[in-house]
Amino acid sequence: MHYFKICILSILLSSIGCKEQNEKPKDTPLSEQTSIATVSYAKGFTIEKQANGITILKISSPWPNAEASYTYALVPKEKAAFITLNKDQYDAIVTVPIEKIVVTSTTHIPALEALDVLDKLIGFPNTDYISSPKARAQIKQGTIEELGTNQSINTEMVIALNPDVVVGFSIDNQNKTYNTLQRANIPVVYNGDWTEESPLGKAEWIKFFAPFFKAEAKADSIFKTIEKDYIEANELAKKSKTRPSVLTGGLYKDLWHVAGGKSWMAQFLKDANANYLWSNLDETGGVGLSVESVFDKASTAQYWISPSNNSTYKQMANASEHYQQFDAYKNKKIYTITLSKGETGGVLFFELAPNRPDLVLKDLIHIFHPDLLPKHEPLFFKPLQ
C-alpha cells in the first residue's frame, strides 16, 4: 500500500528543487545519520530518528503472520517545505505534530489520554465500546464523531473530517475501507499492538503514538513507570510460598477455549506466580479443547479466570451443567473481567489492560496471593457474582 496525504505542504514539497539524499555519505558515522529509539519489549515496530529530523516508523507486525511490513515517514512541519521524499519508499508520509487523528481500536484511546492529546481525536468507529470517561465526555460534546463499524467505516464522514492520519486496525490487508481513504489522500497507518505476546510489549506501543505528537520524551517516561511497577509487582509475587493452579476460559459451542501457553494472559499468570495448567501449549491465542480434557486436567484447579462472558454463577449454571463440576465453581473462586464496564457497556479490560499491564498483574497477585497486596482495589478482575 503506497499512499500519502496531499496538502499545501506536500505541494510545496514537490516544487522544491533540492532533494534530501536517501543515503548518507559512506564516511558519515551511523550515529550521525540516525538514532534508534529504544523499544525493549515490543516486536512489531521500530522507530528511527534521522539527522534531518524525519522519523521513520516501521511496522513489521500489523496483523498475525503478515507477509509485508509498512514504513511511514513523519516529517516535522517546520521542515516539510525544504524536504522532498521519494514517495515510493513509504506507505505514508505525515507532517507532524498532527492536529486531527482518527483511531480504530479502543486500545488506542488510553495512549492518547496518557499523552494528553485526546483532544486531537475527532472520530472513532463503534464509540459505545469506549470506556474512558474523558473520551465519553468528548463524545457527548460532539468532538468525537461516530464513524460506524471498524469493518465498514463511514468513509464519507472520515473524508469530510479530513484527519491528518487514520490509525488502522486490521486482521489482514484486505480492508477496502482503508483503500478508499488512501485514494482520498488520507494517510492510514497500521497499529499492531494486539499482535504482541508479552504484557510489556503491548504497553510499549505508546511509543508508536508519540512521534505523531512530538511527545517521545513523555511516552518514554510513562512507559518506564509502567515497566518499573510491573517488574516490582513480579518480584513481589515471587515471594509467595504458594503457587495456586489456574484454569482459564469457557465453552463456546462445543469447545472449551483456554488461553494458549505463549499468550499474554499466560505470561500474566506466570508473572503472578501461579501455575497455569496449559502453560505448555505453544499457541499465542486461544486454544479449543474438549470439555472432557479440560475437566480431567482442571477439575481441582484452585482458581478460574475469565469464564467467557459470564458475570454470575447463575449465568454459568444456566450456560452449562459442566461448569458446576469444577472445584473453582464450588468454592466460589472464579474471577471475571465483565463486571468492569464503561457507561455504555464497553469492557474496561479490552481498552485499558494492554496499556496498563502493571495494574492487571496487581489484580492477579491480589487474587492468588492476597497477603502480598491486601489493600489493592481490583480494577479489571473481580469475583463472579
Residue 190, pLDDT above cutoff 80? yes
Give yes or no: residues 151 and 269 share one domain.
no
Give yes or no: residues 63 and 207 share one domain.
yes
Q: Is residue 226 part of a domain?
A: no
Give yes or no: residues 150 and 16 share one domain.
yes
Domain that holds residue 112: 8-213
CATH code, 50: 3.40.50.1980
pLDDT tens, 91-140? 999 999 999 999 999 999 999 999 999 999 999 999 999 999 999 999 99
Q: Is residue 231 part of a domain?
A: no
Give yes or no: residues 119 and 248 share one domain.
no
- Which CA distances in Å does 296 have to 54, 168, 180, 247? 57, 42, 51, 12
Residue 149, pLDDT above cutoff 50? yes
pLDDT tens, 355-376? 999 999 999 999 999 999 999 9
Can you tell me the distance from the alpha carbon of 265 to that of 21, in angstroms, rounded to the nearest whole number? 46
pLDDT tens, 262-291? 999 999 999 999 999 999 999 998 999 999
Q: Using CB atoms within 10 A of its CB, is residue 315 exposed (0-12), middle (13-18) or buried (19+)?
A: middle
Give yes or no: residues 172 and 260 share one domain.
no
Residue 2, pLDDT above cutoff 90? no
- Which CA distances in Å does 59 have to 71, 84, 173, 208, 221? 6, 22, 13, 9, 22
Q: Is residue 2 part of a domain?
A: no
Higher pLDDT, 51 or 70: 70
Q: Is residue 229 part of a domain?
A: no
* Contacts of 8 by beta carbon, 8 Å cutoff, 6+ apart: none
What pLDDT is recorded for position 64? 87
Q: Is residue 314 part of a domain?
A: yes
The tally of domains found in the chain comes to 2
Find, among 121, 129, 147, 103, the residue nearest to 342 by Cα.
Answer: 129
Q: Is residue 66 part of a domain?
A: yes
Give yes or no: residues 339 and 274 share one domain.
yes
What pLDDT is recorded for position 33? 61
Give yes or no: residues 126 and 190 share one domain.
yes
> Is residue 346 within 8 Å of 109, Cβ to Cβ?
no
Give yes or no: residues 207 and 242 share one domain.
no
Give yes or no: residues 185 and 278 share one domain.
no
Residue 156, pLDDT above cutoff 70? yes
pLDDT mean across residues, the chain? 90
Instruction: Identify the domain boundary among 196, 213, 230.
Output: 213
Give yes or no: residues 53 and 156 share one domain.
yes
Give yes or no: residues 74 and 185 share one domain.
yes
Q: Is residue 221 part of a domain?
A: no
Does 354 sit behind a cis peptide bond, omega within 30 degrees of 0 on the bond before it? Answer: no
> Is residue 85 within 8 Å of 59, Cβ to Cβ?
no
Instruction: Identify the domain boundary among 213, 229, 249.
Output: 213
pLDDT tens, 3-17? 333 333 332 233 323
Q: Is residue 3 part of a domain?
A: no
pTM confidence score: 0.88
How many CB atoms sit inside 10 A of residue 311's CB?
16
Give yes or no: residues 359 and 260 share one domain.
yes
